[in-house]
Amino acid sequence: MMLLALAIPWFGGIVVALLDGRKRRTGLVAIAVLAASFIASIVNGIAIYRHGAQEMVAGGWEAGVGITLRLDTLGVAFTVLSLGVLLAALAFEVANGVQTRVFPALVLLMATGLTGLFLTGDAFNFYVFFEISMIAAYVMTSYGGQPRQLRASFIFAVVNLIGSVLFVIGIAAVYHITGRLDMAGIRDQMPLVSTSPAILTATIIFVAFSIKLGLFPFHFWLPPVYTGTTPAVAAILSGALANIGTYGILRFGGDLFPRELARGGNVLLILGSLSIVYGALQAISRGSAGEVLAYSAIGQVGYILIAIGIGGRAGFVAAILYAIINSLNKTALFFAMNLRGWIVSAAFAIGAFSVAGVPPALGFFAKLALFRLGANERDWWVVALVFIGGAMSFIYMFQLYGWRFLKPADGDETPTPLVAQLITGAVALALVALGVWPEPLLALSQHAASVLPGVAP
């Protein structure tokens, strides 16, 4: 049962790859497959909530010999989130009309890669699934067919490939210093490793994930790619694929290298703050919707990094909560970016409120968690940063809102399909509903953070 969420999109992806994705029927089949996988992962989540984490070693080998697959709350939370975003993006694109025949299959294969990555308990297997989803992303960014976007997608592929190479070097280094590849084994061995190789290895892995996240000094690939692709692909990249970075830093930093994370906490705080300020300043000064949202994405991951940098139970809870909320925000905003209509306009406003952290939108709780974190730790500059960052995001989001929706319509734009509007509205509605009734989400992030060692359940 436990791998159903992985098996369904994998088989489905192969079958859909044979069909012509431009046909509506293929799109509907792909949506059905992804929905089945989404439901399977929710069922998994309920099972874990009732009976605790599940573990399985492939091939019936002993633990530490075979590849371990592990289902825990942290992994399942990110699986459900990523599959949900992918499902919404696929439905959105099918409603708008898919332009290339491979797009539905690519979404399914990316779902496979992401599910596998969040489920695996083996460092090298993590890399393999990571590459499956990245390869799907490389092809996806060239989707849309504009000749001048090809260069952006080429840069994306090359930069992220360097990130992958760094990551695999990091894994090899972990294997060298601990002699283990399974995460449980690494966790046991890491405290015995002397400081400098451990720090070096942790740094390499951190840089690899920062490239995926588009954190401040490694962000340069991000804006041209986000502005170049279609809204659905941009939503997938920022809502689903960027989760790899957050999950990776949480899993490798919080779970496997807690000692090194504690030592490097200040670096994370500095990089996070720089990301927030840089992203917000750039977003205010930019003119096009895509660019504003891209720089906003750079700024938002800064908050997640700050929460991880502060660390401890409250820090990890805040980071998970912020990651989930940020994915939903970005999905709603990118969907609403190029559409017209009152539903979309309302959805964009909700997304903007959520990014700025204004109740009743869900983003309020993300900002609140960080606020509390800063106040508890007596880090007043974190509180100030969250406040200033929130104010700046309020400015740029409503600048953007003004350009996009308060202008009278030109009249020559193509009418937006109603289904696409409804999907955008549904994501926004989820933001409000969870904002009004946030307890399940708060409980989920509490539970997910309890997976990380040093954090009592």
Partner 1 sequence: MILILSLAVAVLFGAGAYLLLKHDLLRVIAGVVLIGNAANLFIMSAALTRGAAPLYPLEDPRTTSDPLVQAMTLTAIVISFGVSALLLGLIYLVYVAHLSVDMEQLSSAEEEQAGVDDELAAAALMPVDGDEDEAVAIAMSEHSE
Partner 2 sequence: MSTAMTQHVARLLLLPIFMIAIAVIVKGYADTGDGFAAGVIAALGVLLQYLAFGHEAAERMRIVRYAPLGALLGLIVALLVAFVPMLFGKPVLTHTPGVGEHAVHFGTLEFITPALFDIGVFLVVYGFAVGAIGAIARSYEGEGPR
CB contact at 8 A, 331 and 89: yes
Shortest separation between residue 141's beta carbon and partner 1, angstroms: 9
CB closer to partner 2 out of 3 and 172:
3
> Residue 288: which of partner 2, partner 1, none does it interact with, CB under 5 to 8 A by kind?
none
CB closer to partner 2 out of 14 and 395:
14
How far is Cα 347 from Cα 275, in angstroms, rounded to an integer? 26
Shortest separation between residue 16's beta carbon and partner 2, angstroms: 11
Looking at residue 250, the DSSP 8-state letter turns out to be I
Exposed e or buried b per residue across 334-365, where buried means at least 16 C-beta atoms within 10 angstroms of its C-beta: bbbbbbbbebbbbbbbbbbbbbbbbeebbbbb
Among residue numbers 5 through 64, which ones bind partner 2 (CB under 8 A)? 7, 10-11, 14, 17-18, 56-60
> Residue 394: which of partner 2, partner 1, none does it interact with, CB under 5 to 8 A by kind?
none
| CA-to-CA dists, residue 204 to 125, 131, 197, 249, 430, angstroms | 18, 17, 11, 12, 37
Segment near partner 1 (CB under 8 A); pick from 35-43, 174-182, 423-431, 449-457:
174-182
Shortest separation between residue 119's beta carbon and partner 1, angstroms: 18
Query: What mask of x and - would describe binding to partner 1 in positions 15 to 34, judged by CB under 8 A?
Result: --x-----------------
Return the residue of 24, 63, 146, 188 that touches partner 1, per CB under 8 A: 146
How far is Cα 186 from Cα 63, in angstroms, rounded to an integer? 13
The verdict on 153 binding partner 1 (CB under 8 A) reads yes
How far is Cα 307 from Cα 314, in angstroms, rounded to an integer? 8
The verdict on 147 binding partner 2 (CB under 8 A) reads no
The verdict on 131 binding partner 1 (CB under 8 A) reads yes
Among residue numbers 53 through 112, which ones bind partner 1 (CB under 8 A)? 99-102, 106
Query: What mask of x and - would describe binding to partner 1 in positions 401 to 440, judged by CB under 8 A?
Result: -----------x----------------------------
The verdict on 3 binding partner 2 (CB under 8 A) reads yes
CB closer to partner 2 out of 125 and 445:
125
CB contact at 8 A, 150 and 44: no
CB contact at 8 A, 113 and 130: yes
> Residue 157: which of partner 1, partner 2, none does it interact with, CB under 5 to 8 A by kind?
partner 1
| CA-to-CA dists, residue 413 to 9, 338, 339, 409, angstroms | 36, 10, 9, 8
From the list 107, 74, 79, the residue with the least C-alpha distance to 450 is 74
How far is Cα 400 from Cα 84, in angstroms, rounded to an integer? 26
> Residue 154: which of partner 1, partner 2, none does it interact with, CB under 5 to 8 A by kind?
partner 1
> Residue 56: which of partner 1, partner 2, none does it interact with, CB under 5 to 8 A by kind?
partner 2
Among residue numbers 61 through 120, which ones bind partner 2 (CB under 8 A)? 66-67, 69
The verdict on 154 binding partner 1 (CB under 8 A) reads yes
Residue 68 phi, psi dihedral angles, 5° rounding: -90, 135
Contacts of 270 (CB under 8 A, 6+ apart): none
Binding residue count for partner 2, defined by CB under 8 A: 16
Shortest separation between residue 60's beta carbon and partner 2, angstroms: 5
How far is Cα 72 from Cα 255, in angstroms, rounded to an integer? 12
How far is Cα 78 from Cα 218, in angstroms, rounded to an integer? 23
One-letter amino acid for residue 297 of the chain: A
Which residues in this chain contact partner 1 in the complex, by CB under 8 A? 17, 99-102, 106, 124, 128, 131, 135, 138-139, 142-143, 145-148, 150-151, 153-154, 157-158, 161-162, 165, 168-169, 171-173, 175-176, 181, 412
